[in-house]
Amino acid sequence: MMIHKLAFKNIYRAGLRTWLNVIALSFSFVAIIFLQGLYNGMNDQIEKATLDAQYGGGQYWQNDYDPYDPLTLEDAHAKIPDDLQKLIEQKKATPILIRQATIYPNNRFQNALLKGIDPGQTILSIPTQVLISSDETIPALIGSRMAKSSGLKIGDYVTLRWRDANGTFDADEVKIVQIMNTDVSDIDNGQLWIPIEKMREMTAMPNEATIIVLEKSSPFSERVDNWQYKDLEFLMQDLRALFLTKSIGGSIFYIVLLLLAMLAIFDTQILSIFRRRKEMGTLMALGMTRSKLIQLFTLEGAMHAVLAAVVAAVYGIPLLIYVASTGYGLPEATDSYGFAMGDRIFPAFTAGLIIGTTLLVLIVTTIVSYLPTRKIAKLKPTDALRGKLT
């Protein structure tokens, strides 16, 4: 107890020196939590955007469909079974027909993935209502990435060539009716979305689909002949593998930040002990044992971390709440990051992150306070009194 009181008295009375240490350390707390929260928020956002716009609550794939093998698309279509058709009629699922196609924008050709979707669907957060058309023109919806790569603008007409169910080539003009800004590049890059009924006519595939997207939290996962149920665990596995890769980078960044903070504390402790080695010699001369001396200086270091956590809470909590509510703006270049990202990231600060980081910083601070103290406590009192360091 005596050591606790002395440690508290020492840091309380050290004034500016204590506050400088505490404020610098509190920056580390806030920076580490902020950046880790940013990573968490980014992952949450990416997952949500991907579910909303692409995977829904799970999917049924026609048996031949393999998204990684474009050659399977030729045969990846089938009549929608009754069970799934009922879900579609109840607006609990929406069908998508997928075919390979070629477009000819600006006198060049470009391979594209032609996707037919119900313009009235509400399962996916794709603005398909723009595909509702009364005239004979085929309306097409593309994403901003596709618009950029093809040079297409709203109102442009572009020649589309495809093969119907019998393998016969056909062509027509489609009109770009909307360019959507989506965070999910997998529904954008190289893709044209057109009304599914129109596409069924064009391809001679009445009432057929390639995949059926279920609504979120759909309990339906029955076995259906010729179709395979894909749950979200399966659908998200690539994304989660990507998260893992990115999170390794994030963890390295987290560790680097932590190490920088610890280096600052270590330097501060070294400097502090260097300045106070005569004081340590005096304490030894007055009869303080080595173990008590180590306890005292280590506790002082740990108390700095506790104070820093309090100071960090005072300004960090309002700051982090503000950033969590308004989001953190990202530059446009982050679109090349590799997966769905909004132009603003909303950091997610969990209790686990905050408590975990606080405990981690406390433990590491205590360790880096202990190490230099242990070294100097091994000095002979006479050397410490003379101000020798080694």
Catalog residues that contact other proteins under the rule CB under 8 A: 2, 6, 9-10, 13-14, 278-279, 281-292, 380-382, 385
d(CA 204, CA 189): 26
Q: Which is nearer to other proteins, 17 or 246 (CB)?
A: 17
Q: Which two tokens stand for residue 69?
A: 């093998």
- Return the number of the residue (70 or 387) whose C-beta is nearest other proteins: 387
Q: How many secondary structure helices (H) and strands (E) does the chain include?
A: 11, 13
Instruction: Please state the closest distance from residue 288 (CB atom) to other proteins, in A.
Output: 6
3-state SS, residue 281: helix
Give the orientation angle of helix 16-50 with respect to helix 290-326, to 10 degrees: 40
Q: Pick between residue 121 and residue 369 the one whose CB is nearest to other proteins.
A: 369
Which lies closer to other proteins via its Cβ, residue 172 or residue 279? Answer: 279
Min dist CB 249 to other proteins, Å, is: 45
What value does the CA radius of gyration of the chain take, rounded to a whole number of Å? Answer: 31
User: Min. distance of Cβ 11 from other proteins in angstroms?
Assistant: 9
Virtual torsion, Cα 177, 183, 184, 187, nearest 10 deg: 0
- For 323-345, the DSSP string reads HHHH-EE--GGGGGGSS---SEE
Residue owning tokens 């023109």: 137
Distance of CA 142 to the CA centre of its chain: 25
Between 285 and 310, whose beta carbon lies closer to other proteins? 285
Instruction: Name which of 255 and 389 has its Cβ closer to other proteins.
Output: 389
Rounded to a whole number of angstroms, the minimum distance from the CB of residue 301 to other proteins is: 16
CB of 336 to other proteins, least distance (A): 55
Strands 110-117 and 191-195: parallel
**Rounded to the nearest whole angstrom, what is the least distance from the CB of residue 17 to other proteins in the complex?**
10
